[in-house]
């Protein structure tokens, strides 16, 4: 019967290994890339107006400036046009920014680039960003789907 018993040292060692394994699996799960079903869907039924005189929207006064609003990135291109696309990269959900030098949207997570109309320039993203319409009237910029 004594041969079937586990001594205290062996028990504590196995208990510690089990706890360490569970802790590691928990933390490693947080390091895995998002699966496509975890990416935030692009906003739908969009219709909002930005006051371009509002200090919160000051970046849009200059070519190359951009802001984020309601899950959308609104940018003023190097040509002075206003464009709006979904701000979430379609590859793994990173937040894109407007790259003035390339006149494109860039995802810093894995390097995907998108044209100002949302189409993929290079991957790993395979799907375009959702594009929204813009309309300027005086100092009001309407963004809508």
What is the pLDDT, as a whole number, of residue 38?
A: 62
What is the pLDDT, as a whole number, of residue 49?
A: 96
15 dihedral zone (left: phi>0; alpha: psi -120 to 50; beta): alpha
In a domain, 17, yes or no: no
In a domain, 76, yes or no: yes
In a domain, 20, yes or no: no
Is the pLDDT at 135 greater than 90? The verdict is: yes
In a domain, 136, yes or no: yes
What is the pLDDT, as a whole number, of residue 145?
A: 93
In a domain, 22, yes or no: no
In a domain, 12, yes or no: no
Instruction: Identify the domain containing residue 99 by its residue range.
Output: 36-144
In a domain, 105, yes or no: yes
Number of domains in the chain: 1
d(CA 63, CA 72): 18
What is the pLDDT, as a whole number, of residue 41?
A: 86
What is the pLDDT, as a whole number, of residue 40?
A: 79
Instruction: Determine how β-strand 82-86 pairs with β-strand 47-51.
Output: unpaired
> 118: domain CATH number?
2.102.10.10
In a domain, 129, yes or no: yes
Mean pLDDT of the chain, nearest integer: 84
What is the pLDDT, as a whole number, of residue 101?
A: 94
In the predicted model, what is the mean pLDDT of residues 29-56? Answer: 75
Global pTM value: 0.72
């Amino acid at each position: 019967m004594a041969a079937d018993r586990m001594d205290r040292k062996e028990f504590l060692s196995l208990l510690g290994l089990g706890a360490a394994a569970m802790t590691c699996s928990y933390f490693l799960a947080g390091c895995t890339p998002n699966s496509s079903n975890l990416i935030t869907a692009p906003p739908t039924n969009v219709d909002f107006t930005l006051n371009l005189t509002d200090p919160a929207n000051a970046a849009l006064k200059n070519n190359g400036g951009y802001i984020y609003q309601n899950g959308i990135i609104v940018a003023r291109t190097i040509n002075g046009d206003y464009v709006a696309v979904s701000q979430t990269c379609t590859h793994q959900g990173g937040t894109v920014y407007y790259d003035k030098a390339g006149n494109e949207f860039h995802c810093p997570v894995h390097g995907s680039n998108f044209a100002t109309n949302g189409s993929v320039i290079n991957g790993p993203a395979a799907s375009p960003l959702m594009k929204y319409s813009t309309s300027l009237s005086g100092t009001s910029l309407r963004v809508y789907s």
